[in-house]
């Protein structure tokens, strides 16, 4: 029952993701959430680290899209320097804009990865269309009250997920 909220992978941050390995496994597109995944949600522009990371990822051969539930100003301002395909007000976990982003970067369900910090929007959305999902630890905890409430529930799911991973590992 909780499985639909489980990510394919869970990692500390976007820096810990092995993009080369993902490429070798056949993945070609990455859909990034912005707030608390790439930068804290009050950071208007990407820092140099993000700009460099995006360049590196593109050099490997990936297409990148930003898929954010935040508003137009937030997303277009953040994307000014990055210049990737970007969706604002994506309404994740609804899947329509995830599909739209994949269409725009010409990837599909089999070769696209979604990276985000929220289980009920990012991970659940990605799972609904059956793409690979990577959950990262949120960058900043300075968040809206509604997100704070969700975090507690998310912690419970992560605990169940890690328990499952451990159980599966001991089987091998």
For binding to Mg ion (CB under 5 A), which residues are involved? 33, 35-37, 117
Q: 67 near 29, Cβ under 8 Å? A: no
For residue 79, the minimal CB distance to Mg ion (Å) is: 15
Name which of 89 and 164 has its Cβ closer to Mg ion. Answer: 89
Distance CA 47, CA 151 (A): 26
For residue 70, the minimal CB distance to Mg ion (Å) is: 8
For residue 66, the minimal CB distance to Mg ion (Å) is: 11
Distance CA 64, CA 88 (A): 15
Question: Cβ of 20: how many Cβ atoms within 10 Å?
Answer: 12
- Smallest Cα–Cα separation from 75: which of 89, 62, 64? 89
What is the number of the residue whose Cβ is closest to Mg ion? 35
Name which of 60 and 129 has its Cβ closer to Mg ion. Answer: 129
Name which of 43 and 60 has its Cβ closer to Mg ion. Answer: 43
Give the pair of three-digit tokens for residue 50. Answer: 């993000």
User: What is the DSSP code string of 137-148?
Assistant: --S-----HHHH
Name which of 117 and 154 has its Cβ closer to Mg ion. Answer: 117
For residue 96, the minimal CB distance to Mg ion (Å) is: 18
């Amino acid at each position: 029952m909780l499985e639909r909220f489980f990510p394919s992978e869970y990692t500390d941050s976007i820096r810990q993701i092995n993009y080369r390995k993902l490429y070798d496994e056949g993945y070609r597109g990455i859909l990034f959430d912005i707030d608390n995944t790439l930068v804290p949600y009050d950071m208007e522009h990407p820092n140099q680290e993000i700009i460099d990371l995006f360049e590196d990822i593109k050099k490997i051969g990936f297409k990148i899209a930003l898929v954010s539930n935040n508003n137009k100003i937030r997303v277009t301002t953040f994307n000014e320097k990055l210049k990737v395909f970007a969706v604002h007000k994506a309404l994740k976990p609804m899947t329509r804009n995830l599909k739209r982003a994949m269409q725009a970067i010409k990837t599909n369900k089999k070769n696209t990865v979604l990276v985000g910090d929220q289980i009920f929007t990012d991970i659940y959305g990605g799972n609904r269309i059956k793409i690979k999902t990577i959950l990262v630890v949120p960058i900043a905890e300075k968040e809206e009250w509604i997100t704070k409430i969700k975090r507690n529930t998310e912690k419970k799911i992560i605990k169940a997920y890690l328990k499952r991973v451990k159980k599966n590992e001991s089987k091998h």
